[in-house]
Amino acid sequence: MKRLSIIAIAASVLLANCTKNASDTLNVDPKSASSATAAGLFLDGELNFVNTYNTTSISVSPFRVIAQEWAENTYVYEANYNFAAYNAPGGFWNSLYVNTIHNLDLAKQNFPNNWPGTAGALRNSLIITDLLQVYSYYLLMGTYGNIPYSNAENTAIPFPQYDDAKAVYADLLMRVDTCIAGLDPSQSAMGSADQIYGGNVAAWLKFAASLKLKMAMLNAAKDPTTTAKKVNEAIATGLFASNADNAEFSYDPTSVTNSDPIWQAISYSGRHDFGPAGLLVNTMNGWNDPREQFYFTKYQGAYVGGAAGDPSNSYGGYSDFASQFYQANMPADILDYSEVEFYKAEAAARGFVTTGTTDPAAYYDSAVTASIEFWGGAASDAATYLAQSSVAYSTAAGTWQQKIGYQEWIADYNRNWDGWTVIRRLGQPDIDVVSPPLGAASSFPLRLYYPPNETTSNPKNTATAVAALPGGVDATTAKLFWEP
């Protein structure tokens, strides 16, 4: 995995964010942060985005547990789809709106005021900042449905309306296209304030194209025509071509605050709230997956996972996380080559790919190999794994959705939101059938409900958004516009 040394993050304490709902908190005078540097504001926004993506906090991001890649010990609310106990819907919402989008917006306002470089570098920096905002809105739209968007950063409107999710999605795709057209690799960007690519504009251009592919594939089942067009445009722009292109953020092991949130949760805290989930462990056991040694420890000589939703799960009673999860500087991965290759495999299986290789098996093999190598395995390990009749694309059981879905789910082990979303997109693994949690409050969650603070402080607009959901009920089982 790539390693970047994080610079000191002073800006993270500059903008202490309140715990009110986003609509209230966004009503802030941007001039109040005029003493903060644009670079510091950008880094704070970037760090908060990455932390939201990577955190284990069940009050922010419970998706590893929902997807049964992780299991909960003793307190199994999220495993049972009970999100009221720790308010994950409110935590995820605020982390992206308040800590990420708002700080990135302040960075965009401040960049022109204290920019020491060229006009081209300024433009690149603004575009890179916008890409992270686009990604943030994409996660929100893909999690809740209709969301505040067009007026979310308008300080004159403290209680913004909710924009139609499908319209937000279309606009975000257009914004990515604008970013791709505007990025100029011959010019620099903000440099060390960017702890993902160090201001490398060519790397950000690949990121933008790969993000476009990811966003396009979200709606593949419902709008294949637009998806196919966007997929081929993204391929033509130039996608991630190896693990060296991965969008990774490395933490500072000398600072608890700026260290990996996973390390903070499972090591520094002294708590042991999580462990590997039985569905994932058993699936990997059945296929002799070489990544197990990088994902888990052995328990009594074997890899053993915890049962979903079982309050009797206890630390020391089954496998633990592998040693690298106990490293304070383990990088956060927000978009990678393996993910890109899985999207291309799916696009090929759907008949979308019109240039180059059109065989889904080639992309499938590439995706699996990239994941194994990313975690520390060798190319020979990948070849042996893929040679098994139960894994090989041509002979593995099930539809292409099952073949690709299961392998992408395994590769998404530490990808949090993506592990949940591949299940929502492809229906695999079919959790309700193969591993319904003990004591589940509902069928598999297809979205998060709106934060309680939104329903009380912005009731009219939230009610309108709820009315637009299937059945007019703010349920986790309500399908979003893109879900098959």
pTM of the entire predicted model: 0.93
Structure confidence at residue 311 (pLDDT): 96
CA distance 190 to 128: 9
* Per-residue pLDDT tens over the stretch 433-466: 999 999 999 999 999 999 999 999 999 999 999 9
- Candidates 302, 299, 306, 298; CA nearest to 280 is 306
What pLDDT does 117 receive?
87
Q: Produce one character per residue of 35-57: b if its CB has 16 or more CB atoms within 10 Å, e if not.
A: ebbbbbbbbbbbbbbbbbbbbbb
Mean pLDDT of 302-331: 97
Q: Is residue 26 predicted with pLDDT exceeding 60? A: no
The tens digit of pLDDT for each residue in 52-77 reads 999 999 999 999 999 999 999 999 99
Mean pLDDT of all residues in the chain? 92
The mean pLDDT value for 304-331 works out to 97
State pLDDT tens for residues 122-171: 999 999 999 999 999 999 999 999 999 999 999 899 999 999 999 999 99
Q: Which fold has domain 11-259+328-472?
A: 1.25.40
What per-residue confidence (pLDDT) applies to 36?
Answer: 73
Q: 353-390, pLDDT tens digit by residue?
A: 999 999 999 999 999 999 999 999 999 999 999 999 99
How far from each other are the two terminal CA atoms of the chain, in whole angstroms?
A: 34
Name the percent of the chain lying above pLDDT 90: 90
Domain boundaries, the chain: 11-259+328-472
d(CA 49, CA 9): 14
On whether the CB atoms of residues 333 and 247 are closer than 8 A, the answer is yes
Asked whether the CA dihedral 282, 288, 294, 298 is positive or negative, the reply is: positive
